[in-house]
Structure 1
């Protein structure tokens, strides 16, 4: 996909010299993210081989979610709080259902049944359940308590601080477990590499990840500037655009890595990336945006997600918990996850924004 790198400077040129063609700029910028995500997958593969699937997945999620965070910050500055929430929810849903589903199908067709660390996956699934509880309760409180809008800012900030504390504990737990993963990977050196060719050193891989992330962030800023006009030209609602268009683009980096990992029979890393990226979005990015919004405008963002978003996240987490229960995957489970994703996308395509 290296030839697609030409789209990166092309998107920048179009933004400056053809600003009126929003749909073309949007398409070129979205495709330009693809080769950058592939390079990020190669760098993450080197890190995961040397540092373990847990820490490798955490690093990939962190660099991959940088684009999502930048998109959200740009939208926050524009006052598009609903779009931010839709994009966050959509990326969580997309990672659990779409990316993990594609990874299972690709890996299952090529390798048959694949195995992974069920204990680590269940830990991530439990963290997602905690995140769902944190997202449901503010909306439930607002629905049950009359005239509670004035308190939602303080309540959201408090819950955000708790979520951040839990995420820090999760990172500490992952770092401890990664030591054992690294030892196991060194014992199996030369098997299951995520990419073809020589291994990169950790320093080179981190440098590449940093550079590629800058490119993805730049293209993400271009996407934010054209998404509303492009979605209107395509006839998409704001809810569908946020949940199923921006979400796929914002999570392109970790999506590519997770699918490549499954194809190379490294389902441990694939599960770590998909579930770990969702955990990071729910317990780090979302509460961080809530706290930062107090300094970015007159109206801070709260944690009150619409009923449609809450239900879709809840359904996704429930089926993720079932998938992560026994330490094995196959292509049929991937088809099941993709079916749920397509059903949800179909509903959001027709449902009005006010309901979502």
Structure 2
């Protein structure tokens, strides 16, 4: 798409969202315009990180895409925590994890597989990702298991301890994978073509787009609760799928495009890496940040959320462990996502 037209659409969507937020009283229109603006801004984030990946390599590019792509969800979740809407925060965390390992990875594997018969990526990296995903599932299960045996204040303390451990584990994983053992986990895919912008401009684009996402996210949070009640949607469905899909827009676009360029390693890094970042860094960070407000949030998830995360993690591990993908595996991932989404809608 022409660059001028691309930024014209972004500007128009943000202006429309701002007009709706400040001058219209209809919360559904506010929600729709804010969601549309975040999707366009997420596309901007995706383009900027893809340009950065040209200079830094697919692993760093994938990490940056996951990080800045998750910025939208982290910012949305921060305002939800501030409002004390913990159920929707946990639902959005759940939706983000399964959305990345099932929807984003599923679409990438499907469209990449339709163009290339089989796509391969670093199998050793896939093994480490599987172990880290298992750690995330275990960390979320433990507080829920002990909920009936411990008083709430001790559950809160347990949540803080788990949050700190997960953040430390994630930071150590970054050091291991990007510094001390990066040669073992390096991708073999080579960058082709020209980047959209220079390295400096690409970084500036990332920062500016993130600032815009922060502003529009606050508008979205103001309307999302009213919209969910108006339409009769549960907080589980809104947080787990509506907000998660909007927040994942950057990963959706970048991962699918990279897979269709036979860069499935970068696509997997975006999808799986983003889920790991949500489970091991974003969720624990929100628990610690909530301590700044009147009512802190614990890390206890509902049975529905835990089941969805466990099932999504299980099939993602089984598909990605061999370091090779094809289009049918994408169908399997998307099928599980639709099943879980339908269940969340009826809960």
- Identify whether the pair has TM-score above 0.5, normalized to the shorter chain: yes
Equivalent residue runs for 1:263-274 within 5 Å: 263-274=260-271
> Which residue in 2 is equivalent to 1:309?
305
> Which residue in 1 is equivalent to 2:176?
173
Is 2:19 the partner of 1:13? yes
Matching residue within 34, 39, 57 for 1:29: 34
> Which residue in 2 is equivalent to 1:335?
331
Structure 2: runs of 5 or more not aligned = none
> Which residue in 2 is equivalent to 1:290?
287
Q: State the shift of 1:35 in Å.
A: 2.5
Is 2:156 the partner of 1:153? yes
Pairs aligned (count)? 340
Change (3 A) 1:41 1:180: farther
> Which residue in 2 is equivalent to 1:220?
217
Structure 1: runs of 5 or more not aligned = 352-356
Secondary structure at 1:108 match in 2 = helix
Contact persistence 2:121–2:187 (CA under 8 A): no
Matching residue within 198, 206, 210 for 1:209: 206
Q: Could you tell me how far apart the structure 1 residues matched to 2:313 and 2:109 are?
A: 17
Q: Could you tell me how far apart the structure 2 residues matched to 1:198 and 1:307 are?
A: 45
Q: State the shift of 1:182 in Å.
A: 7.6
> Which residue in 2 is equivalent to 1:41?
46
Q: State the shift of 1:341 in Å.
A: 0.5
Change (3 A) 1:318 1:198: closer
Q: Could you tell me how far apart the structure 2 residues matched to 1:15 and 1:8 are?
A: 10
Q: Could you tell me how far apart the structure 2 residues matched to 1:345 and 1:92 are?
A: 13
Contact persistence 1:55–1:174 (CA under 8 A): no
Contact persistence 1:55–1:178 (CA under 8 A): no
Please give the root-mean-square deviation of Cα atoms over the aligned residues, in Å: 1.8
Q: Point out the more displaced range, 213-222 or 286-295.
A: 213-222
Secondary structure at 2:147 match in 1 = helix
